[in-house]
A and B are shown apart, each in its own frame.
Chain A
Amino acid sequence: MSFSLEVLGSRLTWTWRRRTTWRSTARTPPSQTGGPSSPSSPSSMMNQYREEEEEELFITVDHPESHVTAIETFITYRVVTKTSRSDFDCSEFEVRRRYQDFLWLRSTLEERHPTLIVHPLPEKFVMKGMVERFNDDFIETRRRALQRFLDKIRDHPLLRGSPSLNVFLTAQDLAPHRKQTLSLLSRWGGTVKMLSQSLRGVRSRPEEFSLMQDYVEQLSSKICSVDKVSQRIVREQREYVEELQQYSAPYKTQSCTRHLSSTLIPVLHDYLLCADTLKAVMKRRDNIQAEYESKREAMERRGDQEGEEEEEEEVQALQEKVEVCNSSLQEDWSRWRSSMRTDLKTALLSTAENNVQHYEKCLAVWETFLLSQREEGSEQKEEDVP
């Protein structure tokens, strides 16, 4: 894993900075289990290595607040960072970010790592059924999605060290950084234009990526179905609870509905959005391959002419780029798949567990009732028998 990171690092022109010394205990990590004794002993070297591997970084998104200006009203979220990483100047940061800032972070990450799978953000608007953009439920759902987004970035072995993330988490004012990116964007736009001119589609996509494409299509349709079923269950359960409340008191089934809505459905939603992300990533990979192929063909057509060497180098570089992108995508793909499996498994488990608990609660109520009745009954019987 680390070897290929080195390779990637040099190719993709940012460096993976490795910590070589353990910082002094003045900057203590949030969860302290025990510090090294002295910097040069073998055990502390081991500790260093372990600490480096852990690279602790904790991010929380909370405290949404509404801001009203002359032009617009928007919500900001407080983003709190606690870290022991060396690429951060302090161990704690607190900033306020709005949705646009998250969008900036994500698009920056996508630009720099076009063939990595960057977790999607919640949608900008939810059209149906939401008149008030600043409805409490909406804000809470969005807050949780933003939290998940940052957690995913933090967990990603490559993205977590990104300087954009650092800036996002630490800079009080994001504006100057966003301006920089704007110029980057325009450069990127130019590249894309160039590409599209020479684009004729990919000649021979490696099979694994075709399979990936197919799988993503199918998966997104399945997850969509699961989502629909879950939404329907939520609706039915809500109606059931409403009827029950007119009927008798001892039922408490609110927990069922809220649980599905707060646990399973958001996760499904994220993975629905992932489908689009994955398609975009594969498109970009295809484009990179297409660029290489078109350059190579152009070179072959020109045959033996001047400027061959330069062109050859270019083509060579592009070929390497394709290989690097493919392998990085492959790795990220398997990381993503394993992460998806975990997420869905956890969410489904939690749903099942919640249902079990619901039934256990009901069972307790009925069994208590029965017990009380049977006691009454046996008391009466004793009275009858003289």
Chain B
Amino acid sequence: MRRGSEEATSVKRRMAEDGRDESVAADDDSQHTAEDGRNGLNNTMVEESPTLLRRMEICVAEAEKRSGKNAVNMQETFTVYLIETRPMDALAEGRNPAPDSLWRRYSEFELLRNYLLVSFPYIVVPPLPEKRAEFVWHKLSADNMDPDFVERRRVGLENFLLRVASHPVLSNDKILHHFLTEEHSWKEVVYETGFQAKADSRLKALSATFRVRNPDKRFMDMKHYSDELQSHTSQLLRARARVADRLYGVYKVHGNYGRVFSEWSAIEREMGDGLQSAGHHMDAYAASIDDILEEEEHYADQLKEYLFYAEALRAVCRKHELTQFELEMATQDLISKKQQHEELSTGIVRTFSFKGMTNKLFGQEAPEQREARLKLLEELIEEGEEAVKDKTVECEEHVEKAWVDVQRFKEQKDKDLREALINYAVMQVSMCKKGIQMWSNAKECFLKM
């Protein structure tokens, strides 16, 4: 319980810094551009890590509204985002070539992510920014076309790309490359991989979750943890939205002081100047909340990223449950086939079987039939053994690779959340200082009254 809330509070820190930079993911080995306000240390780390990001600078530069016909041939408006890429070596050499660019809409990002989810079920795949605005407080609109929302989504999409491109496994994927470089043929290429067929059915996965007998304890703990992370972050986000609403109210009402003091100063001789200037400070105070809450929104976004990451983590755990369950089923199946074989060959019935019953009732079958069935069973047993072998391999591989990625994810998360919390605190400090400044100014004005 405590661990979850610790994570959640440290997220707030990281949010501040990221929000300020605007350029996104504080993943240390993912950091990117020359424009990055932070130090050259990040650049060297980029070069060292064997990821796409080393070779290519990526950013989501702009967003635009477009109209077009959708799948059911109806006119719709949607937003597209400009992805720009530049080769890293050119930048290192000091050249400044024009970036290659293409436009993508949100649904294409979703397609890419679904592909990655299916193709790399042992990886905690970075999440996309939310599809619809949630945890809104009254000032924020829930409209997907709202420019603030679009801007925050642009930042989130860039973050997603940077995380994927800096991932040791994901960054080498061809489809990802295509996504970044081929605007028009990409969709066909993705569909051709046939990934949709490989996707596990939800029903299968759900049934596995309930019926699996011996899942790896570490993954069960991980699942438990991801549940807690999710619940804590969503509580935090909800509470934050309500608090933001109230704080907005408090600040804005002070703006009324501005108006009233101004009117009042008109009828006063000695107090006039003091009241008037105090009124201006009250107006400034009321206006300051807009910037503060906008910045806070960035941190909320970072918290949301980890909310969605929890889902990705859970997906990896579910995949484990599935592979484990399939292994158990295959093993079970093999055992039962072997038993049947034994019964048939020795005539000793160990367990109740329908065949045994019918034999008793209708007499034993003819020897040829028995031979045929034994043969069949032997083949099935062979297949079964292959299946068990394959499933074991699949399961073990998944466990191995997944565990590696989960460790990587944990490290990244701890770092990110810690940074976010620090940066959030920095923002709070600045907000307090501003408050002190404003009220001290107001004091000065009152003194002159």
Contacts and interface: CB of A to CB of B under 8 A. Distances in A.
B439 A355 contact: yes
B425 A341 contact: no
Interface in B209-244: 236, 239-240, 242-243
A369 B12 CA distance: 13
Contacts of B256: 225, 229, 232
Interface string A223-239: 10110010011001101
B264 interface: yes
Residue picked from B254, B422, B443, most chain A C-beta under 10 Å: B443
B267 A219 contact: yes
Interface residues of B, number: 43
Interface stretch (B105-113, B314-322, B430-438): B430-438
Contacts of B344: none
B428 interface: yes
A183 interface: no
A236 B246 contact: yes
Contacts of A236: 246, 249-250, 253
A238 to B, nearest CB: 9
B433 A363 contact: yes
B435 A355 contact: yes
B249 A226 contact: no
B257 interface: yes
Interface in B247-306: 247, 249-250, 253-254, 256-257, 260-261, 263-264, 267, 270-271, 274, 278
A362 interface: yes
A215 B267 contact: yes
B439 A359 contact: yes
Interface string B433-449: 10110011011001101
Residue of B13, B236, B256 with highest tally of chain A CB at under 10 A = B256
Nearest to A230: B257
Given A232-B253, A349-B443, A356-B443, A218 B267 contact: yes
A interface majority secondary structure: helix
Nearest to B426: A370
Interface string A340-383: 01001100110011011011101100110110011001000000
A127 B31 CA distance: 64
Interface stretch (A48-56, A86-94, A240-248, A320-328): A240-248
B449 A243 contact: no
Given A349-B443, A369-B425, A363 B436 contact: yes
- Interface size of A as a range: 35 or more
A338 to B, nearest CB: 9
A222 interface: yes
A348 B278 contact: yes
B429 interface: yes
B432 A359 contact: yes
A348 B425 contact: no
Interface string A127-169: 0000000000000000000000000000000000000000000
Contacts of B428: 362, 366
A359 B239 contact: no
B314 to A, nearest CB: 26
B399 to A, nearest CB: 29
Contacts of B162: none
A373 B432 contact: no
A341 B449 contact: yes
Contacts of A229: 253, 256-257, 260
B391 interface: no
B263 A222 contact: yes
B250 A233 contact: yes
A229 B283 CA distance: 13
B421 interface: yes
Contacts of B261: 226
Contacts of B274: 345
A349 B447 contact: yes
Given A236-B250, A362-B428, A226 B264 contact: yes
B246 A239 contact: yes
A249 to B, nearest CB: 11
A360 B1 CA distance: 32
A232 B439 CA distance: 19
Given A232-B256, A341-B271, A373-B418, A352 B425 contact: no
Interface in A22-48: none
A18 B71 CA distance: 101
A225 B260 contact: yes
Return the 7 tightest CB-CB contacts between A and B, nearest first. Answer: A240-B246, A363-B432, A359-B435, A222-B264, A352-B443, A355-B439, A247-B239
12 contacts: A226-B260, A239-B246, A239-B249, A243-B243, A341-B270, A344-B271, A352-B439, A352-B440, A353-B439, A367-B429, A370-B425, A373-B13
Given A349-B443, A356-B440, 15 more contacts: A219-B267, A225-B263, A229-B253, A232-B253, A232-B256, A233-B250, A236-B250, A239-B249, A240-B247, A243-B245, A341-B270, A359-B432, A359-B433, A362-B428, A373-B13
